[in-house]
Structure 1
Amino acid sequence: MDAHAGLTRHVAKWIVEQQARPLPAGLDHHLRRMTLDAVSGMVASSVGPVSGAVARHAAALYPGDAATAIGHGASSVLGAALVNGTNGHGIESDEGYTPGSMHPTSVVLPTVFALGQSLGADAGRVRIAAAIGMELACRIAAAGHPATRNRHFHNTPLGGVFGATAAAAVLRGLSETETAHALGIAGSHAGGLFEFLGDSAEVKRFHPGKAARDGIAAADLAVAGLTGPTTVLEGTDGYFAAYAGSVGEAWFPERVTDGLGEQWVVLKTYVKPYPCCRHLHGAIDGALQLRREHEIDPADIAAVRVETFPIAARHTGTDLDTILQAQLSLPYAVAVALTRGAVTLTDFEPAARDDAAVRALMGRVSVTVDPDADAAYPRSGRPARTTVEFTSGRTRTTWVQHPYGEPANPLSDEALEDKVRGLCEPVVGAAATADLITAVRAFEGLDFLADVDRAIRSRALVAGRTSTPHD
């Protein structure tokens, strides 16, 4: 028998049995951190045009009032999941899991928020569903990465739809057999192409919302009696064969099963300190370190060389017409870091993108592949070497193995709350932000969703705001 035979049913069995087992020490606190980080991004994104477009679509196709679409009021379960998932990925602030190059909270938390509200689930049940869903999403993404990315797919909706399905199965009380069928149905929903990188198409933002919606649908269809292939993960024509390739060469079943339920990989997710693609963060850290340690006048810089792993080295765009183009541009991010000494959401606003000094320096940034960084990513870091060459001929270099926010180089709880305030206060004010932090830290229910939604919409009415200035 092949080592990966029965993988889908093994996962379904774990999803059901894990619900009766205690979560490990530290995971509950970690879930609250992840939730706070994710909701802050949803709040900041909710007043932008992408969120508005998806909310209008959801209202037309999925009307209802069972759940909260943050920034847009009451919605149906599918509508809220779609909108909040889009919001979660809407400003590139969402946490992630480096070995899988994916963002579990942006898919799984909108799933459990929408279903949890509609079912009146208690907070403990919601957290269990979130933990199981995010754990599975991370493991499935890591089992096929980087092969899935090299085949041009976006890992967040790929692994995410299985995580969303698992979370929905927990909250809906699916049996082991129903859960296996739900996972089989989810496989037909897996998708998300990376072609958006070419012109920074905003459909990227939509991918997690689609996966959250589809995960809920997969679980509900299984309850309704629709069957899915119960070999969807490991089968000859299954998910990994289609999206990654050959077992043992392109995908590794042990990354799904080893230590499942005992060693929680979701504890190893990172928090982003900068609202842009995570692949850029090692070089940003290096540039900021050089600026702190040396007196740097951007006008004195002759060239900047970034050497990193191949996937990061693809992010070399120099068109800055949209916020997403800037957020996916390694040359722009490094130029901002060296010029301004920080990288914040305002650095991606139109006026900031038009800064002549930043644009001039961006033209002197080159990006190449480094063999050591290539060997390390994704299992042993997300490295970048950043070298600044001055017009005087001197050079300064840094090497960052683990960008700020990784488990090996973490953000403190205090730093995370500073990030939350920076994202939320411009949208809802200091008092509502403080209330949100308190409520999520307590996590005694999901009332904070409706509370922050009301705060967003009331402030928008007062300000006459229809979108954020940074869109």
Structure 2
Amino acid sequence: MSPDADLHRFLLDLRWDDIPRPAQDRGRLLLLDLLGTAIAGTGTALHQSVLRYARRNLSGGRARVLFSDATLSPEGAALVGGMTIDAIDSHDGHRLTKGHVGCGLLPALLAALDDSGRRIAGTEFLTLLAAGYEIGSRAGIALHATVPDYHTSGAWSAVNCAAISGHVMGLGPEAFAHALGIAEYHGPRSQMMRVIAHPTMLKDGSGWGAMAGVSAAYLAAEGFTGAPAVTVLAPEVAPIWKSLGRDWEVMNQYVKGFPVCRWAQPAVQAALDLVESHAPSADEIDAVEVHSFAEAIALCRRVPETTEEAQYAIGWPLAAALVRRRIGVAEVSDGAFEDAALREMLGRIRYVEDAAMNARFPAERFAVLRLRLRSGAWIETGWTTAKGDPETAFGTAEMVDKFYRLGGDVCSRDRLDRIHGAVMGLDGGTGSFETLLSEMFAAPRQGRRAD
């Protein structure tokens, strides 16, 4: 069989019991993390803008939208869901894709299921989600291996979303192959470093990739043809796909501890480590020197004017960690940008690109932080990486705590409890999945940040 036929067969054959227990558990926690991030995302201007756009231009279908009362076309639901999750930079990622699988995958899967009218068990839903992490991770690695430019996640997540949507729709092998080719051709090959230089609502392209992937599957169902998908079929990427169903990439996803770009997180972690170990007050810190890899140093260094600038920054979250001893959604929201103490600390930071750290990127991301105190003493960290990588994974309790922190400003505690309980009980019968669907497809109770 050809590689795209192998992929089609993988989706047809995969069952819940085929997935190792650690991968099952990890997928469930990643789902909870995506939902917490999506809830937080509904409190942003980005969410409101894309929802208004989609209500006007992508309506007329029966696909419901994550944490909204809107009903749209499946393409529209995938777009809004992906952009809403991406609105808060706190969702999972994969080092070798240099991007994010779950952000586009979840809304695309939900949109295709909703539009199909299929009712499935919670374990089947988790199985499809796990399959998407396997396909999406490999699609991202393969695209980076076959093109010279550094593109956003939307470029390769389109292929993943086409595969998952096409499977839900019941496409045969030929139409399925065309869906992959359409998605690869039309996926947003957007340049990542442009949005790093100019942080806006464009973010990581995941919403557009989800929409492109879902659209590709529906086009293929109507007989539209696409060129062969190089990222699946090219001989040079064959080793990447050979491990499908054997090595579980869901275990290789990282989870962010802070709602900012992953590249900034080693520096933030270094700051939190120093203030915990040495307890200097903000007033005691005279100068800050951060050493990291080029992509981290290229992040925004000025006082942010928008939450997008704050999330794609290195200086602002570092200042927040040193002054407030935390970096949460509040620190990357409008209310924080006039904080005089944060602005002052930002002005004390010097940025140093480190060649040795460059050589370790993207497989490893490090930072070193040095603080000069007003006493004249220097304190510094060693090479620091942020927790949440596969080798330093957050435990269940930490993931659950993050979910409540992300959702707490927007949803009531009772509703968060219901979502949490439903996610953790998805393999216990049909009731949990029906509960989860009813909670996912309704507008959140508006809290102070979403007002």
Paired residues of 1:96 and 1:269 also in contact (CA < 8 A): yes
Q: Is residue 2:180 matched to residue 1:183?
A: yes
Aligned to 2:312: 328
SS state at 2:289 partner: strand
**What is the correspondence of 1:17-166 to structure 2 with a 5 Å cutoff?**
17-21=10-14, 22-64=18-60, 66-76=62-72, 77-119=74-116, 120-122=118-120, 123-145=122-144, 151-154=149-152, 156-166=153-163
Superposed CA deviations along residues 290-319 of structure 1, whole A, max 9, x for unmatched, are: 000003122222322211122112114313
Does the aligned pair in 2 maintain the 1:174–1:223 contact within 8 Å? yes
1:319-346 Cα offsets, whole Å, 9 max, x none, are: 3111111111111111111111111111
Q: Secondary structure at the match of 1:386?
A: strand
| Matches for 1:308-323 after TM superposition, within 5 Å | 308-323=292-307
> Structure 1 pair 452/370, CA: closer, same or farther in 2 (3 Å)?
same
The residue that corresponds to 2:341 in the other structure is 357
**Inter-CA distance 121–211: structure 2 relative to 1 (3 Å threshold):** farther
The corresponding residue for 1:241 is: none
Structure 1 position 39, deviation (Å): 0.9
| Structure 1 position 374 matched with structure 2 position 373 | no
In the superposition, relative to structure 1, how do residues 234 and 112 fare at CA in structure 2: closer, same or farther (>3 Å)?
closer
- Partners of 1:330 and 1:146 in 2: how far apart? 28
Q: How does 1:399-418 map to 2 (within 5 A)?
A: 399-418=382-401
1:385 aligned counterpart, secondary structure? strand
Aligned residue in 2 for 1:284:
268
**2:96 alignment partner AA:** P
Residue number in structure 1 paired with 2:228: 230
CA separation in 1, counterparts of 2:128 and 2:339?
A: 45
Give the distance between the partners of 1:147 and 1:25, measured in 2 at CA. 33
Helix, strand or coil at the partner of 2:291? strand
Name 1:298's counterpart in structure 2.
282
1:435 alignment partner in structure 2:
418
Q: Separation in 2 of the partners of 1:97 and 1:181?
A: 27
2:332 alignment partner, one of 324, 340, 348: 348
State the partner residue of 2:450: 468
* 1:454 is aligned to 2:436: no
The letter of the residue matching 1:353 is F
SS of 1:427's partner is coil
Change in 2 beyond 3 A, CA 1:283/1:113: same
Residue 41 of structure 2 aligns with an amino acid whose one-letter code is S
Between the aligned partners of 1:330 and 1:348, the Cα distance in structure 2 is 12
Counterpart selection for 1:208 from 206, 209, 218 = 206
8 Å contact kept, 2:407–2:416: yes
Q: 1:162 touches 1:186 (CA, 8 Å); kept in 2? A: yes
Root-mean-square deviation (CA, aligned residues, Å) is 2.4
Please report the TM-score for the alignment, with normalisation by the length of structure 2. 0.90
Residues 418 and 267 (structure 1), Cα distance of their counterparts in 2 relative to 1, 3 Å cut: same
- Unaligned segments of structure 1, at least 5 residues: 1-5, 239-246
- Counterpart of 1:397? 380
Counterpart of 1:261 in structure 2: which amino acid? Answer: G
Q: What one-letter code is carried by the residue in structure 1 that aligns with 2:438?
A: A
What TM-score results when the alignment is normalised by the length of structure 1? 0.86
Matched, 1:10 2:6: no
**Contact 1:37–1:94 (Cα < 8 Å) also in 2:** yes
Change (3 A) 1:316 1:399: farther
Q: Secondary structure at the match of 1:426?
A: coil
Deviation sequence 1:426-466 (CA, Å, 0-9, x none): 2121000000101111224254243244351xx34xx7x8x
Tell me, in whole angstroms, the C-alpha distance in 2 between the residues paired with 1:439 and 1:414: 16
Q: Identity of aligned pairs, percent?
A: 25
**Which residue identity is paired with 1:388?**
L
- Offset from partner CA, 1:2-50 (integer Å, 9 cap, x none): xxxx9xx414423423431422332221111111100111111123221
Q: CA deviation at 1:258?
A: 4.2
Look up the equivalent residue of 2:422 and give its one-letter code. A
Q: Matched residues in 2 for 1:225 and 1:209: separation?
A: 25
Q: What is the aligned partner in structure 1 of residue 215 from structure 2?
A: 217
- Distance between the aligned counterparts of 1:12 and 1:374, measured in 2? 38
Partner of 1:243: none
Q: How far apart, in 1, do the equivalents of 2:145 and 2:315 lie?
A: 23
Structure-2 separation of matches of 1:343 and 1:178: 46
Does the aligned pair in 1 maintain the 2:289–2:349 contact within 8 Å?
A: yes
> Which region of structure 1 is more displaced relative to structure 2, 415-424 or 311-320?
311-320
List alignment gaps of at least 5 residues for structure 2: none
Report the Cα offset of residue 387 of structure 1: 1.5
Gap change, CA 1:453 and 1:44, over 3 Å in 2: farther
Counterpart Cα distance in 2 of 1:415 and 1:131: 21
Indicate if the aligned counterparts of 2:303 and 2:316 stay in contact, CA closer than 8 A: no
